[in-house]
Amino acid sequence: MAKYQHFEELPVWQEAAKLYNAALDFQQRPDVRITSGFRSQLDRATLSVSNNIAEGFERATTGELLSFIAIARGSAGEVRSMILVVRARPELRECVSSLDRIRALAESCSRQLTGWSGAVEKLPFQGRRQLPEGQKRVRESADKAREFRQQFLRNLKPNHPLYGSREARQARGEMSE
């Protein structure tokens, strides 16, 4: 999780955004005949997945994050249930592929949320997810030093003794790490 600075970088949030947009696409089709209540609930449930992922990511404690992951997963389950309830209706026969896409995206979100929850539960600490200020400064300092070294290696002149080193070639993108 540390590699993601913003919730919108999370693959599961991106999948949840696809889910919401697939539901919107379905509901905007002229041949979709569903009740306004179903339409409203599908809209709320699909949007709830991405919103709860975002809210959990922004929370400070592990417990809060896990709670919001659980809510998002519950919303994904609600979406799957709604799709299964109406999928066989004759008036929606032309929409089966759209319904199947929504269900598949909701299932994907559920699987990813389950995996994320399991990973968070295995973390070696409880409570606050943010690093204390001292550790944060140490990490930032190490990141700056690493970036400075990479920049230095990228800018070496061809006659420099380190120019042909593996590390310098990697820094210049001439070989994979």
3-state SS track over 52-105 = HHHHHHHCCEHHHHHHHHHHHHHHHHHHHHHHHHHCCCHHHHHHHHHHHHHHHH
Give yes or no for residue 41 having a pLDDT over 60.
Answer: yes
**What residues are paired with 128 via a beta bridge?**
61
1: confidence class by pLDDT, cuts 50, 70, 90:
very low
| Rounded Cα gap, residues 173 and 31, in angstroms | 51
| Rounded Cα gap, residues 55 and 116, in angstroms | 15
Task: Give me 56's structure tokens.
Answer: 């959990």
114: confidence class by pLDDT, cuts 50, 70, 90:
very high
Instruction: Please indicate, yes or no, whether the overall pTM of this predicted structure exceeds 0.85.
Output: no
Task: Give me 53's structure tokens.
Answer: 């992922």
Out of 37-41, 127-131, 166-170, the most confident range is: 37-41
